[in-house]
Amino acid sequence: MTGATGFVGSAVVRELRAAGHGVRGLTRSDAGADFLRGLGAEPVHGTLEDTAGLRDAARRADAVIHTAFEHDFNDFGRVSALDRAAIEAFGDALAGSDRPLLVTAGMLMLAAGRPATEADRPPPAEAFPRHSEIAAEALAARGMRAGTVRLPPTVHGAGDHAFIPRLIEIARATGVSAYVGDGANRWAAVHREDAAVVYRLAIEQGATGGPYHAVAEEGVPFRAIAEAIGRELGVPVVSKSPDEAAAHFGWLTAFAATDVAASAARTRATLGWAPARATLLEDMEAAGYF
């Protein structure tokens, strides 16, 4: 498993271990190795750049779960190429076997003006640099058991260090909590422990029924997120025009202004998945975000 020490990955490790599965997790540091041992997993020292090491580790596994992704939005092309090379290395190692591979993708640009479904296709390679799902589909076309878990814009819970904490930082720095236009654009959401169950169920079922949507809430209005931040910080909640948004949100603008709602109806039916953890707005009050 890659990304085993990360925010989502560590939750997947705990879920797999609780279900009785042995886990070997990739880590680049001694601290990461100690962390994995504390979760009951066996550390494997290595990096995503070392594709030979990835192939070797995959050959010795019953299944591979790939949750790692370097979120460097200033060099997105490079990290996307690194991600694709890792998936292809796993494909080389698992070719000719029935051992499943489960990769991770996002939901941006899946659908416009409506909640995305599992039947929606990922954006073409020329339209979006990250090719995780496309790479997995190419392996599946070769007869491999390769599937994708799509994660929503916000996977929340204690220890979150992604979009919601960044929005809170921006509000603290600027003295206002903002949304774009009327703020009606939506973000799908899931608690990381609920997302972890999707990974476990999908890998146990051979990763062949996807893509899977780890979505507990179909769409939380962005304005509601901004209002929650404003309420907790005691700062005004304001609308920004599209032109003003870039100066306020920086690299986060594309996400802050985009509707990324999604359904998980097929995933729930296929896997028997029933998310049960806190909602995003509940979690923002209780999970140490402020």
- pLDDT at residue number 82: 84
Task: State the Cα–Cα distance between residues 81 and 58, nearest whole angstrom.
Answer: 19
Give the helix, strand, coil percentages of the chain, each rounded to 5.
45, 15, 40
Cα–Cα distances (Å) from 125 to 38, 130, 133, 199, 262, in that order, read 39, 8, 10, 25, 21
The phi-psi region of residue 194 (left if phi > 0; otherwise alpha if psi is between -120 and 50; otherwise beta) is alpha
Polymer length of the chain: 290
Q: What is the mean pLDDT of the chain?
A: 93
The C-alpha atoms of residue 59 and residue 252 are separated, in whole angstroms, by 38
pLDDT at 254 over 90: no
Rounded Cα distance, 57 and 80, in Å = 21
Token pair 């990304």: residue? 3
Predicted pLDDT of residue 193: 98
pLDDT recorded at residue 255: 87
pLDDT tens for 92-111 read 999 999 999 999 999 988 88
Amino acid letter, residue 47 = T
Residue 45 DSSP SS3: strand
At 37-90, the pLDDT tens digits run: 999 999 999 999 999 999 999 999 999 999 987 765 666 677 788 888 999 999
